[in-house]
Amino acid sequence: MNRRDLLKISALAGLATVSAGAAAAETACSTDGTPNQFTPKTAADAKPLDNELGKYAKCPYCGMDRKEHNRTRMLVQYSDDLADGVCSIHCLSLSLGLNIDREPKVIYGPDYASTVEPRPLLPVDQLTYLIGADLKHAMTKRSKHSFASADVAREFQAKHGGTLAKFDDALRESYLDMAADANMVRKNRAERRRRAAEQKHG
């Protein structure tokens, strides 16, 4: 399955997490069919990696701090140089699905095993993914971590399980996990709100 086919699938998966009525009510962008509310809100950026945590500090889809989650964060630069900095492959899936007519120029992912803080970002075509290891991941129950070295990925697999894969495989699995992950995040956030309310009134 090529990336264009994956992006077509992503349109359905991404839109399943938002209100269909609200999306339909918005006017499409002048250059493509992307609803206005999902267009990356930052200006065109020819060098998105320069100070990327400063420019894209929060994930626009879930609000998570990208520096805090630098081991799972991702960044996509579209062909018009609009960029989306997200916290995870889960939220990258949303960006790609909601920007279905905006072609990705480069997608970057982190080297999970690096000891550098924050983890360096590399083009996803250079990364090996480990899917389903017993390693915590942002926004998804089934982890999908990326590694600059295939040998290191195999070492992590030996310790933590999972399946080695390429980016397109990890992206496809993100769409397959979307409904379950959205329900998980929704329940977790509801529980945090409940606890906060109890502390406030307790």
Cβ(133)–Cβ(155) below 8 Å: no
Q: Which two tokens stand for residue 52?
A: 């990327």
Give the range of the structural domain holding residue 146, as residue numbers without chain letter: 3-201
* 64: CB partners within 8 A, 6+ apart: 58, 87, 88, 138, 139
Cβ(86)–Cβ(53) below 8 Å: no
**What pLDDT is stored for residue 74 in this prediction?**
98
Total domain count for the chain? Answer: 1
Instruction: Provide φ and ψ at 28, rounded to 5°.
Output: -70, 155
**What pLDDT is stored for residue 140 in this prediction?**
87
**What pLDDT is stored for residue 65 in this prediction?**
94
DSSP characters over 128-195? EEEES-SS--TT-SS-EEEES-HHHHHHHHHHH--EEE-HHHHHHHHHHHHHHHHHHHHHHHHHHHHH
**What pLDDT is stored for residue 40 in this prediction?**
77
**What pLDDT is stored for residue 56 in this prediction?**
95
Q: Is the pTM of this model over 0.75?
A: yes
Cβ(131)–Cβ(143) below 8 Å: yes
**What pLDDT is stored for residue 150 in this prediction?**
98
pLDDT tens for the chain, 202 residues: list them.
555 566 555 554 544 444 333 333 344 455 555 455 566 778 899 999 999 999 999 998 888 999 999 999 999 999 999 999 999 999 999 999 989 889 999 999 999 999 999 999 999 999 999 999 999 888 888 999 999 999 999 999 999 999 999 999 999 999 999 999 888 888 888 888 888 888 888 7
**What pLDDT is stored for residue 15 in this prediction?**
45
Owner of token pair 């086919």: 5
